[in-house]
Chains A and B, each alone.
Chain A
């Protein structure tokens, strides 16, 4: 008989495994051309992906970018090897789509110096209560580069080495961007 102490983690693990299993079957069907199966995958993951897009890319065009993620996923299902969970694969693909979008805007090289200027302008102390905002609002206010590093590290749980690899940065730059983002957020949050 399970004790309460082991029951909750066990249930969490079982639910996670159940989702993994459900995805595995749907991915196989979708990769063979079954759009019904792909729609089920879409419905299972769209909230998670859209929130990642909204936070990393910003609210503008977030629905269009989310749509792009799923179209790309459909096109690339044949390359999914099942070496990781489908959710992990889709998450990484979404990040690539988001970053490609920013590349298209042609601002990548200017972004980090621009970030530094904007973040340096953040107040050193916390905002007055009437000027404070919730974390979603504060996140949207961050410059793109700092926002991406913060979301990937503090929201999504990636390590600096992974972030640096994804964003084409030095690890030290990722760390300094994260600290600047945290300092700015601390000043803006209610």
Chain B
């Protein structure tokens, strides 16, 4: 046996009733044990729906997908194919922000851990490497400042932990950072001539990502040596 309010219980729980209806239903609930019980059971259903846990897939679907998108055996399509594809409109500020965010989670903890150490040697690479300036000119100041701040923060953290790294490690690190900075500089120069080039944008994003990842790994390594 149901009453007129039984069909309104979901709306009540979801906050979809008008104030007057809500008050009337609450008055009804005080007197109707059946509706109170049903309301509790519906709450239970909702709770269990919220608590559903994703189950792992039984098998890997990637081989079939790779075959369908034509990448099986050739993981990266050639340059002509890349350029023929419709361009994604992810802007460089978004990429920069994304790269910064990616590194910020780990960088924050590492730099905090390393802060307080006093570097006994000059700052890493100071005066030797090209100035890192991965964000192309003309981008919003906020994105540029955010990226530079993240890089600087990591570099400071790394400088603070420099004394814990071996000279050979520092040498390799500086060499690779110099290469990456050179690649970033070249990509930025090329993009000034062809700002919408999807390949160059992807290449720059990838190179920026490499720099951040290298710095992150190095700071972690320095932290692990303490």
Contact = CB atoms under 8 A, between A and B. Distances in A.
Interface in B151-169: none
Contact of B206 (A25, A43, A71): A25
Given A27-B90, A33-B76, A47-B56, A186 B99 contact: no
A182 B54 CA distance: 20
A123 interface: no
A95 B100 CA distance: 31
Interface in B171-226: 198-199, 201-202, 205-206, 209
A124 B68 CA distance: 48
B211 to A, nearest CB: 12
A14 interface: yes
A129 to B, nearest CB: 15
Contacts of B61: 42, 46, 63, 66-67, 70
A87 interface: no
Contacts of A75: 69
B79 to A, nearest CB: 8
Contacts of B74: 35
Contacts of A34: 75-77, 202
A14 B105 contact: yes
A148 to B, nearest CB: 13
Chain B contact residues: helix, strand, loop or mixed: helix
Contact of B46 (A17, A36, A47, A182): A182
A185 B89 contact: no
B49 A154 contact: yes
A112 interface: no
Contacts of B46: 154, 182
B98 A25 contact: yes
A82 interface: yes
B23 interface: no
Interface residues of B, number: 61
Contacts of A154: 45-46, 49-50
Chain A contact residues: helix, strand, loop or mixed: helix
Contacts of B45: 135, 154, 182, 185-186, 189
Which of A24, A66, A80, A82 has the most chain B CB atoms closer than 10 A to its own CB? A24
B77 A35 contact: yes
B202 A29 contact: yes
Interface string A53-93: 01100000001001100110011011111100000000000
B65 A29 contact: no
A186 B202 contact: no
Interface of A: 14-15, 17-18, 20-25, 27-29, 31-36, 38-39, 42-43, 46-48, 50-51, 54-55, 63, 66-67, 70-71, 74-75, 77-82, 124, 126, 135-136, 150, 154-155, 160, 175-176, 178-179, 182-183, 185-186, 189
Interface of B: 2, 7, 9-11, 16, 38, 41-42, 44-46, 48-50, 52, 54-59, 61-62, 64-66, 68-69, 71, 74-77, 81-82, 85-91, 94-95, 97-102, 104-105, 108, 198-199, 201-202, 205-206, 209
20 contacts: A22-B102, A24-B98, A25-B206, A29-B202, A29-B206, A31-B88, A33-B76, A42-B65, A46-B61, A47-B55, A67-B68, A77-B88, A81-B90, A82-B89, A82-B90, A126-B41, A154-B49, A175-B11, A179-B7, A182-B10
